[in-house]
Amino acid sequence: MRFDILTLFPGMFCGPFDESIIRRGRDKQLIDIALHNIRDYATDRHQVTDDAPYGGGAGMVMKVEPLAACIESVKSRQPASTIVMTSPQGRRLTHAVAAELALRPGLIIICGRYEGVDERIRDLFVEDDISLGDFVLSGGEIAAITIVDAVTRLIPGVLGSGESAETDSFCDGLLEYPQYTRPPEFRGLKVPEILLSGNHELIRKWRRRESLRKTRILRPDLLTGITLTKEDRKLLAELDHQDGATFI
């Protein structure tokens, strides 16, 4: 999969893209990442890419001409890629959205800056807006890194185990169950005996029950957005009995 990132600050990507899962995906040639400096497409000698907003107001707005030229240059070489804008007004980045983006041949990600981007960029080019949440960042670079990371780990072959992505939190709409490794006891806290039993079916049920428990306590809103199986409802009933709570 191909990622083309349009930014005013390409240096922000060096560390994150040279380590961990993203580095592994690049080494395996399963993903390709290209950074494009929007300033290179400005025509004045100072490479100005922002200007004061029409109508007045604080801050500056990214100019339409250099960004449009950058987009058109990249799109001409990657015609199958989807143009994405990192924006507070976009749809929230979720596991489902990342999985959808992972099916596309490539993404051209525009990193917004300052008070925003000239709206004509969105009118002319943008096919999708993505937001990390209801908060403000200094620019879209961190959001772009997050999108690349979330999408990359869903590309077959990137992770070391095919099961890894399937058991992540939110993959099935629930938070992930608790995880443990050696030693079996640390400072008086023991690993649940069932995980040491070797009984795969009992372990599977325990993990599902604990996933439901954690989700109900920490993110009960998620339970309203998934279809619970007959087994899920039985496990929730067991939790009601154990925890003295009632699931609605």
212-222 pLDDT, tens digit per residue, is 999 999 999 99
Query: Does 114 have pLDDT greater than 90?
Result: no
- Name the residue range of residue 186's domain: 169-243
Tokens at residue 115, please? 């008070």
Contact predicate 215/174, CB 8 Å: yes
User: What's the pLDDT tens digit per position in 171-188?
Assistant: 678 999 999 999 999 999
Pick the last residue of a domain from 120, 152, 184.
152
Residue 161 inside a domain? The answer is: no
Residue 163 inside a domain? The answer is: no
Question: Domain check: are 77 and 26 in the same one?
Answer: yes
Q: Any idea what the CATH number is for the domain that residue 113 is in?
A: 3.40.1280.10
To the nearest whole number, what is the mean pLDDT of the chain? 92
**Residues designated as active site:** 88, 115, 153, 168
Question: Domain check: are 137 and 175 in the same one?
Answer: no
178's CB contacts (< 8 A; 6+ apart) are 210, 214
Query: Does 211 have pLDDT greater than 90?
Result: yes
13's CB contacts (< 8 A; 6+ apart) are 5, 7, 33, 35, 141, 144, 145
Residue 162 inside a domain? The answer is: no
- Rounded to whole angstroms, the Cα distance separating 119 from 149 reads 27
Pick the last residue of a domain from 102, 117, 152.
152
Question: Domain check: are 107 and 138 in the same one?
Answer: yes
Question: Domain check: are 174 and 137 in the same one?
Answer: no
Question: Domain check: are 92 and 20 in the same one?
Answer: yes
Question: Domain check: are 173 and 137 in the same one?
Answer: no
Question: Domain check: are 239 and 134 in the same one?
Answer: no
Residue 87 inside a domain? The answer is: yes
47's CB contacts (< 8 A; 6+ apart) are 39, 40, 66
Mean pLDDT within 229-238: 95
Number of domains composing the chain: 2
Q: Any idea what the CATH number is for the domain that residue 181 is in?
A: 1.10.1270.20
Residue 157 inside a domain? The answer is: no
Residue 248 inside a domain? The answer is: no
Residue 212 inside a domain? The answer is: yes
Contact predicate 98/165, CB 8 Å: no
248 pLDDT tier (thresholds 50, 70, 90): very low
Global pTM value: 0.86
The pLDDT, as a whole number, for residue 187 is 94
Q: Between β-strands 2-7 and 32-37, what pairing exists: parallel, antiparallel or unpaired?
A: parallel
147 compared with 159, residue with greater pLDDT? 147
User: What's the pLDDT tens digit per position in 160-174?
Assistant: 765 466 556 566 789
The pLDDT, as a whole number, for residue 160 is 75
Mean pLDDT within 94-114: 95
The pLDDT, as a whole number, for residue 136 is 85
Pick the last residue of a domain from 93, 124, 152.
152
